[in-house]
Structure 1
Amino acid sequence: MSECPLCKEDNRCAIANGDKPETCWCMSVTMAQQLLENAASDKKTCICKTCVDNWNEKGRF
């Protein structure tokens, strides 16, 4: 499991699971720069779809 840096849930990252990058859900969504900055950490981890959707709908995660 790869962990979302914001909510700590499974981010369902295809790449972390050994699948091709183009199969990952994140390749078909837009992520706001501010959301990416909020998730910045030393780890290279993906934000989960739930946090991205919440940000896109409400402006917060």
Structure 2
Amino acid sequence: MNPKLCPLCQKQNLCAISAGKPAEQCWCMEELKVPVSDTPRVLLPIPETATACYCQSCLEQIKKKQQTGPSSS
């Protein structure tokens, strides 16, 4: 798995850590304020060995799903 690509959409995830920068400089730390404990693996089938971050678009979709709860379908 390429650590610079989102595991869901395969687009660039723009992860600061993958670019060799401190985690504090990553867009996800400031913009979405997503705690590490809120890993979206509950909603999406991502292998436990995943080594890539989600892109901003996918993470926003995951966050919306978590806020609204599971769909009734």
TM over 0.5: yes
Say how many residue pairs are matched: 58
Task: State the shift of 1:27 in Å.
Answer: 1.5
Across the aligned residues of Structure 1 and Structure 2, the Cα RMSD in angstroms comes to 2.3
Uncovered stretches (5+) of structure 1, i.e. residues with no partner: none
Uncovered stretches (5+) of structure 2, i.e. residues with no partner: 67-73
Q: 1:53 to 1:15 in 2, by over 3 A?
A: same
The percent identity for this pair of structures is: 29
The TM-score with structure 1 as length reference comes to 0.70
1:49 aligns with 2:56: yes
Q: Computing the radius of gyration over CA atoms, which structure comes out larger, 1 or 2?
A: 2
Give the 4+ runs in structure 1 shifted more than 3 A: none
Task: State the shift of 1:39 in Å.
Answer: 5.3
